[in-house]
């Protein structure tokens, strides 16, 4: 009976050396940690900031994005305005949920966003919802200044004749 071995036996070492495997896995982990933040495939938009709660949706949502240059993206894929209705009508997710989220750049004219929403309604989308950036502070003073003009802020409105 042989209890310990030092040297010259014909016994094979049947243990797996996992050190190279661990080294490779650590290198891959570092590579993925570095490259994952760079893989942003979304559409770059400047969304309006409002006070709202985040909506959690584990399945994700079908998003129609409208960029500054009037290009539209359905679920991250660029499509044309002509094809929007057909794509929405053929989309299985729209048929199942009948819902669409719209996100648009703040610099877009109101009419562009309304046009997209009208096309979605024509495609039998029942719920058209807007996406925004949640924020705690609304800049109401800036809105008042742009809508009333600088001279009108702080001025009182005189009552009309006969009042």
Return the pLDDT at 160: 46
Helix (H, G, I), strand (E, B) or coil at 91: coil
Return the pLDDT at 158: 47
Q: Write down the mean pLDDT value for the chain.
A: 76
- Give me the domains of the chain, ranges plus CATH numbers: 49-134 (3.30.420.270)
75 and 42 in contact (C-beta within 8 Å)? Answer: no
The Cα–Cα gap between 120 and 94 comes to 10
The model's pLDDT over 65-101, given as tens digits with 9 standing for 90+, comes to 888 888 899 888 889 989 889 988 888 888 788 888 8
The Cα–Cα gap between 87 and 123 comes to 9
Return the pLDDT at 153: 47
Return the pLDDT at 31: 92
* Residue segments in the chain with a per-residue pLDDT below the cut of 70: 1-9, 40-45, 47-60, 134-143, 146-163
């Amino acid at each position: 009976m042989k209890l310990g071995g030092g040297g010259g036996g014909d016994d094979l070492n049947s243990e797996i050396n996992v050190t190279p495997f661990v080294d490779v896995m650590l290198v891959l982990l570092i590579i993925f940690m570095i490259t994952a933040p760079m893989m942003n495939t979304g559409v770059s938009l400047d969304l309006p900031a409002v006070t709202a709660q985040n909506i959690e949706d584990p399945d994700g949502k079908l998003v129609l994005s409208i960029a500054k240059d009037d290009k539209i993206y359905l679920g991250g894929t660029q499509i044309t305005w002509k094809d929007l209705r057909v794509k929405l009508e053929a989309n299985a997710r729209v048929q199942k949920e009948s819902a669409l989220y719209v996100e648009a750049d703040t610099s877009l004219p109101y009419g562009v966003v309304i046009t997209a929403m009208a096309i979605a309604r024509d495609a039998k989308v029942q719920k058209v919802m807007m996406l925004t950036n949640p924020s705690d502070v609304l800049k109401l003073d800036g809105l008042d200044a742009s809508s009333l003009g600088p001279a009108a802020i702080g001025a009182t409105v005189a009552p009309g004749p006969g009042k």
